[in-house]
Structure 1
């Protein structure tokens, strides 16, 4: 499908979405910036008619927002897996974010929620991040390549875990 919206416009409009997805999956601010750049490049390539990325390209079967979110979440999952392997190999730990959260007086619910989201398994984090972005179950299912039933189960389990973590 030929897209009539300039890629720069798409990236500008969806920059906040990319930033929130990056923040959901990566606590380290420097690594968030790197992840946003990776996501932006993947979006650019996916919409590029002469794309040399592994994305199939925009076919118009979903909204542009859903398509951008899918690319962002795929990149975020790849990033989490890569970082987990790096931490396992190097033995390094990312404590910067945890320290920032524990230094507060506990009243900042946004930091509490982000901290709790970072503790969820990736499959639950994905669903919750998309719900927080305002996606409905059908859109989440399309974005993640799941059934709506699987999305509902993951959302329910994620909410239970978040309630426990934040309780």
Structure 2
């Protein structure tokens, strides 16, 4: 594949699956500038890795794997710079629903959920993101480098942990 052809192919695939960039960056970064930086870092790493992409595999699976690795590395790097595990929540991530009382209650529940997610370790965040994106256990296993059995076990534990955290909050 010629360089220009490879670039066009990459751009088309990236555009078709750009939602993955938004999901991963939104899961690991709360501040808009940090999200934008992370999306650029992911896109750059995807471009560097693209010559090794095997078209026999699903592009979204390959993309998720790289995007999550970049995001987790970035999160770990930021954690060394700041020891505070909690990240301020971004008000733009919440939708107001219904009347003021319902909207306030909904906003508080969403904030609580994001606080619970922010406390998850990077692998559990990735697992939750992929599960919420309705990826199969087989695909999650392939992306995260786990066995399907391990994915099922971890998902069960993660769901229980989130239920407990939300109940106890």
RMSD (Å), alpha carbons? 2.7
Q: Does 1:105 align with 2:104?
A: yes
Gaps of at least 5 residues in structure 1 are 50-56
Under a length normalisation based on structure 1, what TM-score does the superposition of the two structures give? 0.79
Larger-gyration structure (1/2):
2
User: After TM superposition, what 4+ stretches of structure 1 lie above 6 angstroms from structure 2?
Assistant: 1-5, 98-101
2:71 corresponds in structure 1 to: 76
Name 2:46's counterpart in structure 1: 43
Contact 1:27–1:118 (CA under 8 A) maintained in structure 2: no
Q: Would you say how many aligned residue pairs link Structure 1 and Structure 2?
A: 154
| Higher helix residue share | 2
Gaps of 5+ in 2: 94-102
| Mapped partners of 1:6, 1:98: distance in 2 | 34
Distance 1:93 1:110, change over 3 A: closer
Q: Identify the residue that residue 146 of structure 2 maps to in structure 1.
A: 146
Aligned to 1:156: 156
Greater Cα offset, 64-73 or 153-162: 153-162
CA distance in 1, matches of 2:165, 2:114: 11
